[in-house]
A and B are shown apart, each in its own frame.
Chain A
Amino acid sequence: MKPITVVRVVLFAAALTPAAALVYGFYRLYYGADFNALTANPGDYITDQTGTWALGCLAASLSVTPLRRLMGWNEIIKARRMLGLFAFFYATLHMLTWVVFIHYFDVSFMIEDVLKRPFITVGMSTFLMLLVLAITSNKFSIRKLGRKWGKLHRLAYVAAAGGTLHFWQLVKADTTEPWRWAAGFALLFAIRVWWAYRPKLSLAAAGQRANVKGRGTQSQPDRLKPT
Protein backbone atom coordinates (compact mmCIF):
# COMPACT_ATOMS: atom_id res chain seq x y z
CA MET A 1 0.00 0.00 0.00
CA LYS A 2 1.14 3.51 -0.74
CA PRO A 3 1.90 5.62 2.35
CA ILE A 4 -0.93 8.05 1.56
CA THR A 5 -3.40 5.15 1.42
CA VAL A 6 -2.25 3.99 4.84
CA VAL A 7 -2.64 7.53 6.22
CA ARG A 8 -6.10 7.85 4.72
CA VAL A 9 -7.28 4.51 6.08
CA VAL A 10 -5.96 5.35 9.55
CA LEU A 11 -7.54 8.82 9.52
CA PHE A 12 -10.83 7.39 8.26
CA ALA A 13 -10.95 4.87 11.10
CA ALA A 14 -9.94 7.51 13.66
CA ALA A 15 -12.56 9.99 12.48
CA LEU A 16 -15.26 7.35 12.52
CA THR A 17 -14.44 6.13 16.03
CA PRO A 18 -16.49 8.77 17.94
CA ALA A 19 -19.57 7.97 15.85
CA ALA A 20 -19.01 4.26 16.40
CA ALA A 21 -18.67 4.93 20.15
CA LEU A 22 -22.08 6.63 20.17
CA VAL A 23 -23.67 3.73 18.28
CA TYR A 24 -22.09 1.34 20.79
CA GLY A 25 -23.49 3.56 23.57
CA PHE A 26 -27.01 3.03 22.18
CA TYR A 27 -26.37 -0.69 22.09
CA ARG A 28 -25.19 -0.73 25.70
CA LEU A 29 -28.14 1.38 26.80
CA TYR A 30 -30.87 -0.66 25.19
CA TYR A 31 -29.43 -4.16 25.10
CA GLY A 32 -26.96 -4.09 27.94
CA ALA A 33 -29.18 -2.07 30.30
CA ASP A 34 -26.14 0.10 31.03
CA PHE A 35 -27.78 3.25 32.35
CA ASN A 36 -24.74 5.41 32.10
CA ALA A 37 -23.72 4.38 28.60
CA LEU A 38 -24.86 7.74 27.24
CA THR A 39 -25.42 9.40 30.67
CA ALA A 40 -28.87 10.10 32.11
CA ASN A 41 -29.14 12.97 29.65
CA PRO A 42 -28.27 11.21 26.39
CA GLY A 43 -29.57 14.03 24.20
CA ASP A 44 -27.21 16.60 25.66
CA TYR A 45 -24.36 14.11 25.72
CA ILE A 46 -24.69 13.31 22.02
CA THR A 47 -25.01 17.02 21.22
CA ASP A 48 -21.77 17.76 23.09
CA GLN A 49 -19.87 14.85 21.55
CA THR A 50 -20.87 15.54 17.94
CA GLY A 51 -20.17 19.26 18.36
CA THR A 52 -16.71 18.59 19.73
CA TRP A 53 -15.87 16.17 16.92
CA ALA A 54 -17.12 18.55 14.25
CA LEU A 55 -14.55 21.04 15.56
CA GLY A 56 -11.92 18.30 15.85
CA CYS A 57 -12.32 17.14 12.24
CA LEU A 58 -12.37 20.72 11.01
CA ALA A 59 -9.11 21.39 12.86
CA ALA A 60 -7.63 18.21 11.39
CA SER A 61 -8.62 19.20 7.86
CA LEU A 62 -7.14 22.67 8.33
CA SER A 63 -3.91 21.11 9.61
CA VAL A 64 -3.30 19.26 6.36
CA THR A 65 -1.90 22.17 4.35
CA PRO A 66 0.49 23.38 7.09
CA LEU A 67 1.61 19.78 7.58
CA ARG A 68 2.14 19.38 3.88
CA ARG A 69 4.46 22.38 3.92
CA LEU A 70 6.32 21.43 7.04
CA MET A 71 6.84 17.88 5.88
CA GLY A 72 7.24 18.72 2.23
CA TRP A 73 4.94 15.80 1.49
CA ASN A 74 2.49 16.94 -1.16
CA GLU A 75 0.42 13.80 -1.35
CA ILE A 76 -0.96 14.32 2.14
CA ILE A 77 -3.35 16.84 0.55
CA LYS A 78 -5.36 13.80 -0.54
CA ALA A 79 -6.50 13.33 3.08
CA ARG A 80 -7.93 16.83 3.36
CA ARG A 81 -11.30 16.41 1.69
CA MET A 82 -12.13 13.34 3.73
CA LEU A 83 -11.43 15.16 7.01
CA GLY A 84 -13.48 18.15 5.87
CA LEU A 85 -16.38 15.87 5.01
CA PHE A 86 -16.11 14.25 8.44
CA ALA A 87 -16.37 17.72 9.99
CA PHE A 88 -19.55 18.20 7.95
CA PHE A 89 -20.79 14.74 9.00
CA TYR A 90 -20.43 15.52 12.72
CA ALA A 91 -21.83 19.03 12.29
CA THR A 92 -24.87 17.51 10.59
CA LEU A 93 -25.41 15.04 13.45
CA HIS A 94 -24.90 17.91 15.89
CA MET A 95 -27.51 20.03 14.10
CA LEU A 96 -29.89 17.05 13.94
CA THR A 97 -29.70 16.57 17.72
CA TRP A 98 -31.06 20.11 17.96
CA VAL A 99 -33.81 19.34 15.43
CA VAL A 100 -34.83 16.08 17.07
CA PHE A 101 -33.99 16.22 20.78
CA ILE A 102 -34.62 19.88 21.42
CA HIS A 103 -37.37 20.81 18.98
CA TYR A 104 -38.72 17.51 17.85
CA PHE A 105 -39.12 18.69 14.24
CA ASP A 106 -41.19 21.70 15.22
CA VAL A 107 -40.26 24.15 12.48
CA SER A 108 -41.80 27.22 14.09
CA PHE A 109 -39.81 26.64 17.31
CA MET A 110 -36.65 26.12 15.28
CA ILE A 111 -37.12 29.35 13.34
CA GLU A 112 -37.78 31.21 16.57
CA ASP A 113 -34.65 29.70 18.08
CA VAL A 114 -32.45 30.73 15.13
CA LEU A 115 -33.78 34.28 15.15
CA LYS A 116 -33.89 34.81 18.90
CA ARG A 117 -30.78 33.14 20.26
CA PRO A 118 -27.40 34.37 19.03
CA PHE A 119 -25.61 31.11 19.80
CA ILE A 120 -28.09 29.20 17.64
CA THR A 121 -27.80 31.85 14.89
CA VAL A 122 -24.02 31.45 14.88
CA GLY A 123 -24.25 27.65 15.03
CA MET A 124 -26.71 27.47 12.15
CA SER A 125 -24.66 29.88 10.02
CA THR A 126 -21.59 27.76 10.63
CA PHE A 127 -23.47 24.65 9.62
CA LEU A 128 -24.61 26.32 6.38
CA MET A 129 -20.99 27.27 5.60
CA LEU A 130 -19.93 23.67 6.07
CA LEU A 131 -22.84 22.59 3.88
CA VAL A 132 -21.61 24.84 1.04
CA LEU A 133 -18.08 23.51 1.48
CA ALA A 134 -19.28 19.90 1.44
CA ILE A 135 -21.43 20.39 -1.66
CA THR A 136 -18.52 21.98 -3.55
CA SER A 137 -15.93 19.47 -2.40
CA ASN A 138 -16.20 17.19 -5.44
CA LYS A 139 -13.92 17.16 -8.49
CA PHE A 140 -16.65 18.58 -10.71
CA SER A 141 -17.00 21.70 -8.53
CA ILE A 142 -13.24 22.13 -8.32
CA ARG A 143 -13.01 22.09 -12.11
CA LYS A 144 -16.08 24.24 -12.62
CA LEU A 145 -15.15 26.91 -10.07
CA GLY A 146 -11.48 27.05 -11.03
CA ARG A 147 -9.66 29.80 -9.14
CA LYS A 148 -12.82 30.73 -7.29
CA TRP A 149 -12.83 27.33 -5.60
CA GLY A 150 -9.78 28.16 -3.52
CA LYS A 151 -11.28 31.44 -2.45
CA LEU A 152 -14.60 29.83 -1.58
CA HIS A 153 -12.93 27.18 0.51
CA ARG A 154 -11.23 29.75 2.69
CA LEU A 155 -14.71 29.72 4.21
CA ALA A 156 -13.38 26.78 6.24
CA TYR A 157 -11.56 29.32 8.41
CA VAL A 158 -14.71 31.36 8.90
CA ALA A 159 -16.50 28.16 9.85
CA ALA A 160 -13.75 27.38 12.36
CA ALA A 161 -14.19 30.82 13.89
CA GLY A 162 -17.97 30.36 13.88
CA GLY A 163 -17.74 26.97 15.56
CA THR A 164 -15.43 28.31 18.24
CA LEU A 165 -17.66 31.33 18.88
CA HIS A 166 -20.68 29.01 19.09
CA PHE A 167 -18.87 26.92 21.72
CA TRP A 168 -17.89 30.06 23.62
CA GLN A 169 -21.45 31.34 23.68
CA LEU A 170 -22.85 28.20 25.24
CA VAL A 171 -20.27 27.82 27.98
CA LYS A 172 -21.35 28.98 31.43
CA ALA A 173 -18.13 29.33 33.33
CA ASP A 174 -15.38 27.08 32.07
CA THR A 175 -13.93 28.81 29.00
CA THR A 176 -10.80 26.62 28.97
CA GLU A 177 -11.95 24.48 26.06
CA PRO A 178 -13.17 27.31 23.80
CA TRP A 179 -9.84 29.04 24.50
CA ARG A 180 -7.96 25.95 23.38
CA TRP A 181 -9.93 25.71 20.13
CA ALA A 182 -9.45 29.42 19.51
CA ALA A 183 -5.70 29.14 20.09
CA GLY A 184 -5.43 26.09 17.82
CA PHE A 185 -7.36 27.63 14.95
CA ALA A 186 -5.52 30.93 15.37
CA LEU A 187 -2.20 29.11 15.07
CA LEU A 188 -3.32 27.31 11.90
CA PHE A 189 -4.59 30.56 10.47
CA ALA A 190 -1.38 32.39 11.39
CA ILE A 191 0.68 29.77 9.56
CA ARG A 192 -1.43 30.32 6.43
CA VAL A 193 -1.12 34.08 6.64
CA TRP A 194 2.62 33.87 7.17
CA TRP A 195 3.04 31.66 4.13
CA ALA A 196 0.94 33.96 2.02
CA TYR A 197 2.76 37.16 2.94
CA ARG A 198 6.29 36.10 3.80
CA PRO A 199 9.06 37.73 1.71
CA LYS A 200 9.53 36.29 -1.77
CA LEU A 201 13.12 35.40 -0.96
CA SER A 202 12.19 32.76 1.56
CA LEU A 203 9.57 31.45 -0.86
CA ALA A 204 12.32 30.73 -3.33
CA ALA A 205 14.43 29.25 -0.56
CA ALA A 206 11.59 26.93 0.40
CA GLY A 207 11.40 25.77 -3.19
CA GLN A 208 15.16 25.13 -3.11
CA ARG A 209 14.91 23.17 0.08
CA ALA A 210 12.13 21.07 -1.34
CA ASN A 211 14.24 20.40 -4.38
CA VAL A 212 17.20 19.35 -2.35
CA LYS A 213 15.03 16.86 -0.50
CA GLY A 214 14.01 15.52 -3.87
CA ARG A 215 10.29 15.81 -3.20
CA GLY A 216 9.67 19.05 -5.09
CA THR A 217 9.86 20.19 -8.65
CA GLN A 218 10.79 23.52 -10.19
CA SER A 219 7.17 24.55 -10.23
CA GLN A 220 6.67 23.89 -6.56
CA PRO A 221 6.97 27.45 -5.18
CA ASP A 222 3.88 28.24 -7.18
CA ARG A 223 2.00 25.32 -5.81
CA LEU A 224 2.85 26.37 -2.29
CA LYS A 225 0.55 29.33 -2.51
CA PRO A 226 -2.50 29.09 -0.32
CA THR A 227 -5.00 26.75 -1.80
Chain B
Amino acid sequence: MLIKQPPDIRSSEITPKSVYLRRREFIQASAAALVAAGLGTLADEAAAQGGGLAKLPNVKKSPLSTTETPSLYQHITSYNNFYEFAPGAGDGPKANSKNFKPRPWKLQIDGLVNKPGNYDIDEFMKPYALEERIYRFRCVEAWSFVIPWVGIPMAEVIKRVEPTSKAAFVEFTTLHDTARFPMQRTDLLEWPYIEGLRLDEAQHPLTLLAVGLYGEVLPAQNGAPIRLVVPWKYGFKGAKSLARIRFVDKQPLNTWQKMARNEYGFYANVNPQVDHPRWSQAREKRLPSFIANHRTEMFNGYADQVQSLYAGMDLRKNF
Protein backbone atom coordinates (compact mmCIF):
# COMPACT_ATOMS: atom_id res chain seq x y z
CA MET B 1 0.00 0.00 0.00
CA LEU B 2 1.26 3.38 -0.98
CA ILE B 3 1.18 5.89 1.80
CA LYS B 4 1.50 9.46 0.81
CA GLN B 5 4.58 10.89 2.41
CA PRO B 6 4.48 14.39 3.79
CA PRO B 7 7.07 16.64 2.15
CA ASP B 8 10.44 16.58 3.90
CA ILE B 9 10.39 20.30 4.51
CA ARG B 10 7.21 22.07 5.45
CA SER B 11 6.62 25.26 3.52
CA SER B 12 6.67 27.19 6.79
CA GLU B 13 10.29 26.15 7.25
CA ILE B 14 11.46 27.46 3.91
CA THR B 15 13.32 30.72 4.20
CA PRO B 16 11.36 33.44 2.44
CA LYS B 17 13.18 34.91 -0.54
CA SER B 18 13.41 38.37 0.98
CA VAL B 19 15.21 36.95 4.01
CA TYR B 20 17.78 34.97 2.09
CA LEU B 21 18.39 37.88 -0.21
CA ARG B 22 19.03 39.97 2.87
CA ARG B 23 21.35 37.28 4.17
CA ARG B 24 23.34 37.41 0.94
CA GLU B 25 23.58 41.15 1.23
CA PHE B 26 24.72 40.76 4.80
CA ILE B 27 27.49 38.36 3.80
CA GLN B 28 28.58 40.69 1.03
CA ALA B 29 28.48 43.68 3.32
CA SER B 30 30.54 41.89 5.97
CA ALA B 31 33.13 40.91 3.43
CA ALA B 32 33.21 44.44 2.09
CA ALA B 33 33.56 45.77 5.62
CA LEU B 34 36.42 43.39 6.28
CA VAL B 35 38.26 44.55 3.20
CA ALA B 36 37.42 48.18 3.90
CA ALA B 37 38.63 47.84 7.49
CA GLY B 38 42.09 46.97 6.22
CA LEU B 39 42.15 49.71 3.64
CA GLY B 40 40.28 52.15 5.91
CA THR B 41 42.91 52.06 8.64
CA LEU B 42 45.39 52.95 5.96
CA ALA B 43 43.18 55.87 4.99
CA ASP B 44 43.24 57.15 8.56
CA GLU B 45 47.00 57.05 8.55
CA ALA B 46 47.21 59.28 5.52
CA ALA B 47 46.68 62.53 7.33
CA ALA B 48 47.88 65.13 4.85
CA GLN B 49 45.56 65.59 1.90
CA GLY B 50 46.83 67.37 -1.16
CA GLY B 51 49.75 67.19 -3.47
CA GLY B 52 51.69 70.30 -2.51
CA LEU B 53 50.40 72.23 -5.53
CA ALA B 54 49.39 75.92 -5.43
CA LYS B 55 46.51 76.63 -3.03
CA LEU B 56 43.42 78.27 -4.48
CA PRO B 57 42.35 81.39 -2.55
CA ASN B 58 38.88 82.26 -1.22
CA VAL B 59 37.16 78.94 -1.80
CA LYS B 60 33.71 78.84 -0.28
CA LYS B 61 31.90 75.70 0.79
CA SER B 62 28.75 74.67 -1.04
CA PRO B 63 25.48 73.20 0.25
CA LEU B 64 25.52 71.01 -2.87
CA SER B 65 28.41 68.97 -1.44
CA THR B 66 27.85 65.44 -0.18
CA THR B 67 28.62 64.66 3.45
CA GLU B 68 30.39 61.44 2.46
CA THR B 69 34.09 61.21 3.28
CA PRO B 70 36.23 62.27 0.34
CA SER B 71 38.55 59.68 -1.19
CA LEU B 72 42.28 60.01 -0.62
CA TYR B 73 44.13 62.58 -2.71
CA GLN B 74 46.66 59.99 -3.77
CA HIS B 75 43.98 57.63 -4.98
CA ILE B 76 42.11 60.30 -6.92
CA THR B 77 45.34 61.41 -8.56
CA SER B 78 46.88 58.00 -9.24
CA TYR B 79 43.90 56.02 -10.48
CA ASN B 80 42.01 57.63 -13.31
CA ASN B 81 41.65 57.69 -17.07
CA PHE B 82 43.18 60.36 -19.25
CA TYR B 83 43.85 58.91 -22.67
CA GLU B 84 45.86 61.95 -23.76
CA PHE B 85 48.56 60.73 -21.37
CA ALA B 86 48.14 56.95 -21.27
CA PRO B 87 45.63 54.29 -22.25
CA GLY B 88 43.68 52.77 -19.38
CA ALA B 89 43.16 53.64 -15.74
CA GLY B 90 46.06 53.28 -13.38
CA ASP B 91 49.05 55.44 -12.69
CA GLY B 92 49.89 55.89 -16.39
CA PRO B 93 48.29 59.34 -16.62
CA LYS B 94 50.11 60.44 -13.46
CA ALA B 95 53.47 59.07 -14.58
CA ASN B 96 53.21 60.46 -18.12
CA SER B 97 52.07 63.95 -17.12
CA LYS B 98 54.98 64.82 -14.84
CA ASN B 99 56.30 67.50 -17.21
CA PHE B 100 52.93 68.93 -18.21
CA LYS B 101 52.76 72.74 -18.11
CA PRO B 102 49.25 74.10 -17.56
CA ARG B 103 50.36 77.68 -18.41
CA PRO B 104 50.08 79.55 -20.70
CA TRP B 105 46.56 78.39 -21.43
CA LYS B 106 43.83 79.82 -23.63
CA LEU B 107 40.14 79.03 -23.30
CA GLN B 108 37.91 79.93 -26.21
CA ILE B 109 34.19 80.35 -25.67
CA ASP B 110 32.25 80.84 -28.88
CA GLY B 111 29.44 79.63 -31.09
CA LEU B 112 25.88 80.78 -30.58
CA VAL B 113 26.60 83.38 -27.89
CA ASN B 114 26.39 87.16 -27.77
CA LYS B 115 29.68 87.54 -25.93
CA PRO B 116 32.28 85.15 -27.31
CA GLY B 117 35.84 85.39 -26.09
CA ASN B 118 39.27 83.88 -26.18
CA TYR B 119 40.62 84.17 -22.66
CA ASP B 120 43.83 83.58 -20.88
CA ILE B 121 42.82 81.03 -18.23
CA ASP B 122 43.67 83.28 -15.27
CA GLU B 123 41.77 86.20 -16.83
CA PHE B 124 38.83 83.89 -17.45
CA MET B 125 38.64 82.79 -13.81
CA LYS B 126 38.86 86.30 -12.30
CA PRO B 127 35.17 87.32 -12.23
CA TYR B 128 34.01 84.11 -10.55
CA ALA B 129 33.90 83.03 -6.93
CA LEU B 130 35.39 79.56 -6.46
CA GLU B 131 33.32 76.91 -4.69
CA GLU B 132 34.27 73.60 -3.18
CA ARG B 133 31.92 70.88 -4.40
CA ILE B 134 32.33 67.43 -2.88
CA TYR B 135 30.74 65.16 -5.48
CA ARG B 136 30.43 61.46 -6.01
CA PHE B 137 32.34 60.44 -9.14
CA ARG B 138 31.16 57.29 -10.93
CA CYS B 139 33.28 55.90 -13.76
CA VAL B 140 31.49 53.94 -16.48
CA GLU B 141 33.88 51.11 -15.60
CA ALA B 142 32.04 50.59 -12.28
CA TRP B 143 34.42 52.25 -9.85
CA SER B 144 33.82 55.42 -7.91
CA PHE B 145 35.36 58.05 -5.68
CA VAL B 146 34.13 60.98 -3.61
CA ILE B 147 36.00 64.02 -4.91
CA PRO B 148 36.34 67.49 -3.39
CA TRP B 149 36.48 69.59 -6.53
CA VAL B 150 36.98 73.32 -6.58
CA GLY B 151 35.35 75.10 -9.46
CA ILE B 152 33.05 77.58 -11.13
CA PRO B 153 29.36 76.78 -11.61
CA MET B 154 28.86 76.38 -15.36
CA ALA B 155 25.53 78.22 -15.08
CA GLU B 156 27.34 81.43 -14.14
CA VAL B 157 29.64 81.18 -17.14
CA ILE B 158 26.61 80.65 -19.37
CA LYS B 159 24.89 83.70 -17.91
CA ARG B 160 27.92 85.82 -18.70
CA VAL B 161 28.41 84.73 -22.32
CA GLU B 162 24.68 85.03 -23.14
CA PRO B 163 23.75 82.13 -25.44
CA THR B 164 21.43 83.12 -28.29
CA SER B 165 17.98 81.57 -28.63
CA LYS B 166 19.36 79.13 -31.19
CA ALA B 167 21.84 77.56 -28.76
CA ALA B 168 20.58 74.14 -27.64
CA PHE B 169 23.77 72.23 -26.83
CA VAL B 170 27.23 72.94 -25.46
CA GLU B 171 30.31 71.25 -26.87
CA PHE B 172 33.45 70.86 -24.75
CA THR B 173 36.80 70.24 -26.47
CA THR B 174 40.09 69.17 -24.91
CA LEU B 175 43.22 70.98 -26.09
CA HIS B 176 44.79 69.33 -29.14
CA ASP B 177 48.52 69.78 -28.66
CA THR B 178 50.83 66.84 -29.27
CA ALA B 179 53.67 68.58 -27.45
CA ARG B 180 51.62 68.61 -24.25
CA PHE B 181 49.65 65.39 -24.74
CA PRO B 182 51.92 62.58 -25.96
CA MET B 183 49.16 60.09 -26.83
CA GLN B 184 47.67 62.56 -29.30
CA ARG B 185 50.53 61.50 -31.59
CA THR B 186 48.90 58.06 -31.79
CA ASP B 187 45.48 57.09 -33.14
CA LEU B 188 44.32 55.70 -29.80
CA LEU B 189 41.25 57.96 -29.94
CA GLU B 190 40.05 60.48 -32.45
CA TRP B 191 41.58 63.73 -31.26
CA PRO B 192 40.70 66.16 -29.89
CA TYR B 193 38.45 64.68 -27.20
CA ILE B 194 34.93 66.06 -27.50
CA GLU B 195 32.05 65.96 -25.07
CA GLY B 196 28.67 67.61 -25.05
CA LEU B 197 25.70 68.53 -22.90
CA ARG B 198 22.23 69.76 -23.60
CA LEU B 199 22.04 73.47 -22.73
CA ASP B 200 19.71 72.77 -19.79
CA GLU B 201 22.10 70.14 -18.47
CA ALA B 202 25.00 72.57 -18.77
CA GLN B 203 22.94 75.21 -16.92
CA HIS B 204 22.08 72.87 -14.06
CA PRO B 205 23.39 74.10 -10.68
CA LEU B 206 25.40 70.88 -10.19
CA THR B 207 27.39 71.27 -13.41
CA LEU B 208 30.85 72.55 -12.62
CA LEU B 209 33.94 73.78 -14.42
CA ALA B 210 36.56 72.40 -12.03
CA VAL B 211 39.90 74.14 -11.61
CA GLY B 212 40.99 72.54 -8.36
CA LEU B 213 41.10 69.49 -6.14
CA TYR B 214 41.43 69.41 -2.35
CA GLY B 215 41.79 73.21 -2.32
CA GLU B 216 44.73 73.18 -4.72
CA VAL B 217 45.00 73.69 -8.47
CA LEU B 218 44.18 70.57 -10.49
CA PRO B 219 47.05 68.17 -11.08
CA ALA B 220 47.74 67.49 -14.77
CA GLN B 221 46.37 63.94 -14.75
CA ASN B 222 42.99 65.12 -13.46
CA GLY B 223 42.49 67.66 -16.23
CA ALA B 224 44.51 70.80 -15.48
CA PRO B 225 43.92 73.63 -15.72
CA ILE B 226 40.15 73.40 -16.23
CA ARG B 227 37.74 70.52 -16.79
CA LEU B 228 34.07 69.69 -16.85
CA VAL B 229 32.41 67.86 -13.94
CA VAL B 230 28.86 66.51 -14.28
CA PRO B 231 28.30 64.40 -11.16
CA TRP B 232 25.15 62.55 -12.27
CA LYS B 233 26.82 61.29 -15.44
CA TYR B 234 29.59 58.76 -16.00
CA GLY B 235 33.07 60.19 -15.60
CA PHE B 236 33.93 60.22 -19.31
CA LYS B 237 31.44 63.08 -19.82
CA GLY B 238 33.81 65.30 -17.85
CA ALA B 239 36.12 66.46 -20.64
CA LYS B 240 39.52 67.49 -19.26
CA SER B 241 42.00 70.27 -20.05
CA LEU B 242 39.45 72.30 -21.97
CA ALA B 243 40.52 74.56 -24.83
CA ARG B 244 37.10 75.39 -26.19
CA ILE B 245 33.49 75.65 -25.08
CA ARG B 246 31.19 76.09 -28.05
CA PHE B 247 27.44 76.73 -28.02
CA VAL B 248 25.73 74.92 -30.89
CA ASP B 249 22.27 74.05 -32.22
CA LYS B 250 22.92 70.37 -32.94
CA GLN B 251 23.76 67.54 -30.55
CA PRO B 252 27.56 67.13 -30.57
CA LEU B 253 28.96 63.70 -31.40
CA ASN B 254 31.03 62.91 -28.34
CA THR B 255 34.29 60.97 -28.70
CA TRP B 256 33.27 57.73 -26.99
CA GLN B 257 30.05 57.56 -28.94
CA LYS B 258 32.17 57.92 -32.07
CA MET B 259 34.46 55.12 -30.88
CA ALA B 260 31.74 52.63 -29.84
CA ARG B 261 28.19 53.81 -30.26
CA ASN B 262 26.68 50.57 -28.96
CA GLU B 263 28.50 51.02 -25.65
CA TYR B 264 28.56 54.77 -25.02
CA GLY B 265 25.79 57.20 -25.73
CA PHE B 266 25.36 60.96 -25.62
CA TYR B 267 23.61 61.15 -22.25
CA ALA B 268 25.69 58.68 -20.20
CA ASN B 269 23.58 59.27 -17.11
CA VAL B 270 24.53 56.97 -14.24
CA ASN B 271 21.85 54.29 -14.31
CA PRO B 272 22.02 51.00 -12.38
CA GLN B 273 19.24 49.54 -14.52
CA VAL B 274 20.96 49.96 -17.86
CA ASP B 275 24.00 47.69 -18.07
CA HIS B 276 27.06 48.31 -20.14
CA PRO B 277 27.13 45.57 -22.79
CA ARG B 278 30.12 44.00 -21.07
CA TRP B 279 29.39 44.50 -17.39
CA SER B 280 26.65 45.26 -14.92
CA GLN B 281 26.18 48.84 -13.73
CA ALA B 282 24.11 47.78 -10.70
CA ARG B 283 27.01 48.02 -8.27
CA GLU B 284 30.31 49.82 -8.06
CA LYS B 285 33.64 49.68 -6.30
CA ARG B 286 34.02 52.69 -4.06
CA LEU B 287 37.79 52.74 -4.26
CA PRO B 288 39.93 51.54 -2.68
CA SER B 289 38.19 48.21 -2.62
CA PHE B 290 38.69 44.73 -3.99
CA ILE B 291 34.99 44.17 -4.54
CA ALA B 292 31.87 46.06 -5.54
CA ASN B 293 31.01 47.45 -2.12
CA HIS B 294 28.40 49.99 -3.19
CA ARG B 295 25.02 49.84 -4.83
CA THR B 296 24.95 52.29 -7.73
CA GLU B 297 22.20 54.86 -7.39
CA MET B 298 20.05 56.34 -10.11
CA PHE B 299 21.72 59.48 -11.47
CA ASN B 300 24.57 58.69 -9.07
CA GLY B 301 22.38 59.71 -6.14
CA TYR B 302 21.45 63.09 -7.67
CA ALA B 303 18.03 61.95 -8.91
CA ASP B 304 16.09 64.49 -6.82
CA GLN B 305 17.98 67.35 -8.44
CA VAL B 306 18.18 66.16 -12.03
CA GLN B 307 15.47 63.67 -12.94
CA SER B 308 13.11 66.41 -14.14
CA LEU B 309 15.60 67.07 -16.96
CA TYR B 310 14.72 63.69 -18.41
CA ALA B 311 10.97 63.54 -17.79
CA GLY B 312 9.27 61.34 -20.37
CA MET B 313 12.53 60.16 -21.93
CA ASP B 314 13.31 56.50 -22.51
CA LEU B 315 16.60 56.23 -20.60
CA ARG B 316 17.22 52.76 -21.96
CA LYS B 317 17.31 54.16 -25.48
CA ASN B 318 18.99 57.41 -24.53
CA PHE B 319 21.78 55.77 -22.54
Contacts and interface: CB of A to CB of B under 8 A. Distances in A.
B189 A173 contact: yes
B83 A43 contact: no
A42 B259 contact: no
A102 B285 CA distance: 9
Contacts of B87: 173-174
Interface residues of B, number: 39
A75 interface: no
A73 interface: no
B89 interface: yes
A35 B74 contact: yes
B127 interface: no
Contacts of A119: 278
Contact of A172 (B27, B39, B259): B259
Contact of A173 (B83, B89, B141, B292): B83
Interface string B166-183: 000000000000000000
Contacts of B78: 35-36, 39-40
Contacts of B141: 44
Given A101-B290, A102-B292, A173-B259, A43 B31 contact: no
Interface string A31-65: 00101100111111100000000000000000000
A109 B292 CA distance: 13
* Residue among A109, A172, A173 having the largest count of chain B Cβ atoms under 10 Å: A172
A169 interface: yes
B260 A40 contact: no
A30 interface: yes
Interface string A110-153: 00010001010000000000000000000000000000000000
Contact of A104 (B28, B39, B143, B188): B28
Contacts of B38: 29-30
B90 interface: yes
Contacts of A102: 279, 291-292
Interface in B187-241: 188-189
Interface string B91-114: 100000000000000000000000
Given A35-B42, A35-B75, A41 B288 contact: yes
Contacts of B279: 102, 117
A118 to B, nearest CB: 8
Nearest to A116: B275
B45 interface: yes
A106 interface: yes
B188 A40 contact: no
A97 B143 CA distance: 16
B309 interface: no
Interface in A167-217: 169-170, 172-174
Given A41-B143, A43-B290, A174 B31 contact: no
A101 to B, nearest CB: 5
A117 B278 contact: yes
A65 to B, nearest CB: 33
Nearest to A46: B290
Nearest to A32: B42
Contacts of B260: 172
Nearest to A36: B78
A100 interface: yes
Contacts of A106: 24
A44 B91 contact: no
Contacts of B88: 174
Interface in A74-119: 100-102, 104, 106, 109, 113, 117, 119
Nearest to A108: B24
16 contacts: A29-B42, A35-B288, A40-B75, A41-B79, A41-B143, A42-B288, A42-B290, A43-B289, A43-B291, A44-B141, A44-B285, A102-B291, A104-B292, A117-B278, A170-B278, A174-B188
Interface of B: 24, 27-28, 31, 38-39, 42, 45-46, 71-72, 74-75, 78-79, 83, 87-91, 141, 143, 188-189, 259-260, 263, 277-280, 285, 287-292
Given A41-B287, A172-B263, 4 more contacts: A35-B75, A39-B78, A43-B290, A104-B28
